[in-house]
Amino acid sequence: METVILGTGNSQEMRIAIDQAVDQLERGSIVGLPTETVYGLAADALNADACATIFEAKERPSFDPLIVHVSGEKMLNNVAEIPDEIADVTYDLIKEFWPGALTFILPKKEIVPDIVTSGLQTVAVRRSKNKIFSEIVNSLESPIAAPSANRFGSISPTSAAAVFTELSGKIPLIIDGGACSEGVESTIIKIEPSQKKKPLIKILRPGPITPEMLKKFGKIDKHQHSSEESSSLTSPGQLDSHYAPNTPLKILNSPEEFDFNPSKKYALLSYRGQKKDGYLELCDWTHIETLSPGSGKLPEAAVRFFFSLRKLDELGVDEIISEPIPERGIGFAIMDRLKRASYQFS
Ligand code: TXA
Ligand code: MG
């Protein structure tokens, strides 16, 4: 199958791209679409056969459920139940963070096909703030199931070119909406009622909506489920190894940990590219990729993170070395991805 990329550089191109995407989705096909977090591989969420194609194209195991994207509260209520005990906090969070990078795990409604939720009784729901994505879900008038548009386990795509690298030949269409403005996947939360005043907000996957931003709405539980718990299907996608490059990746918590081998070629993923951090002169790096040059800004680092990891992976070095990222704000989500990306090499 030939994979076409449609640009959205001017209003005419944008119109054509949106119409074609909606047309493909209506016909039960799958399409690579931009969102503010990462590119998604989209299908009509109410079309079970179309959703099955997502799993095939991604080579994604059927036990890993998809996120359903809605156009607003009406569509949310079509796909999910909002239990009375958590209704106040859920609507407060929606008011504050939607459209945006916050995904809720809620009891699912009958209309959502089992394949979307991998047989779970809950569904993951979010509303994207990307303009192109929003127009498409509005025109389709049906929710859109979209996991990240990469092959299962590999680096998430934050550009149309990255989607092409991952899935060309397997999908008919990619809409190029430029680089993603957030750069890491949405924060996934599950809210649990509590006898105490504040509900419990469990962060199943850290993302752009940070614990600091959520804490005024409830008590935050940052504990992520281990793979044993995952197999009990509380959060099946949160595997220890994920987002992995082909090149071995190691996080060095301090420069002293570097175990230099003169016959190897190394590349460095640096946070702010500063000599004083002690990494730049550890060896003769084949390449140094800096996430946020200068004083280091975490949102900028997030935007560049997957893009930089992908670039380093394409260099053909023997090892990628990464500096640690400060685990505050969105840095918590970046370190989560970095740890999972390096897991199989540690
Ligand atoms: O930002 C995002 O969330 C992007 C864009 C495209 O929207 N999507 C995304 O999807 O990251 P994906 O499939 O790569 O990650 C979805 C995660 C998986 O870890 C999956 O296990 C979890 O959501 N998930 C989906 N439904 C769930 C459910 N009912 N209970 C627990 N976890 C669920
Ligand atoms: Mg993913």
Ligand 1, CB cutoff 6 Å, lining residues? 35, 37-38, 40, 64-67, 101, 103, 105, 117, 120, 122-124, 146-148, 185-186, 188, 204-205, 235-238
- The answer to whether the beta carbons of residues 81 and 106 sit under 8 Å apart is yes
* Residues with Cβ within 8 Å of residue 139, at least 6 apart in sequence: 18, 22
The ligand whose atoms approach the alpha carbon of 238 most closely is 1
Distance CA 41, CA 37 (A): 13
Which ligand 1 atom is at minimum distance from the Cα of 122?
A: 29
- In Å, how far are 2, 185, 339 from 343, measured between CA atoms? 34, 19, 6
- The answer to whether the beta carbons of residues 24 and 1 sit under 8 Å apart is no
Tens of pLDDT, residue by residue, the chain (346 residues): 999 999 999 999 999 999 999 999 999 999 999 999 999 999 999 999 999 999 999 999 999 999 999 999 999 999 999 999 999 999 999 999 999 999 999 999 999 999 999 999 999 999 999 999 999 999 999 999 999 999 999 999 999 999 999 999 999 999 999 999 999 999 999 999 887 789 999 999 999 999 999 999 999 998 765 444 444 445 545 677 788 899 999 999 999 999 999 999 999 999 999 999 999 999 999 999 999 999 999 999 999 999 999 999 999 999 999 999 999 999 999 999 999 999 888 8
Among the listed residues 74, 178, 191, 174, the one whose alpha carbon sits nearest the alpha carbon of residue 130: 178
Find the angle CA(44)-CA(47)-CA(48) to the nearest 5 degrees.
125
Token pair for 303: 């935007």
- Domains with residue ranges and CATH for the chain: 4-184 (3.90.870.10), 249-345 (3.40.50.11030)
Distance CA 192, CA 188 (A): 13
Which ligand 1 atom is at minimum distance from the Cα of 120?
A: 29
Which ligand 1 atom is at minimum distance from the Cα of 148?
A: 14
pLDDT for 229 equals: 43
**Rounded distance from Cα 156 to ligand 2 centre (Å):** 6
Q: Which residues of 119-137 are buried (b: 16+ CB within 10 A; e: fewer)?
A: ebebbbbbbbbbebbbbbb
Q: What is the pTM of this model?
A: 0.96
Number of alpha carbons in the 13 Å side-chain half-sphere of residue 19: 6
Which ligand 1 atom is at minimum distance from the Cα of 185?
A: 1
Distance CA 45, CA 54 (A): 11
Distance CA 181, CA 335 (A): 18
Can you list the positions of beta strands (E) in 246-336? 249-251, 266-270, 287-290, 319-322
Q: Give burial (CB, 10 Å; 0-12/13-18/19+) of 196.
A: exposed
Ion ligand 2: residues, CB < 5 A:
148
Q: Which residues of 227-262 are buried (b: 16+ CB within 10 A; e: fewer)?
A: eeebeeeebbbbbeebbbbebbbebbeeeeeeeeee
Token pair for 38: 């990462």
The ligand whose atoms approach the alpha carbon of 185 most closely is 1
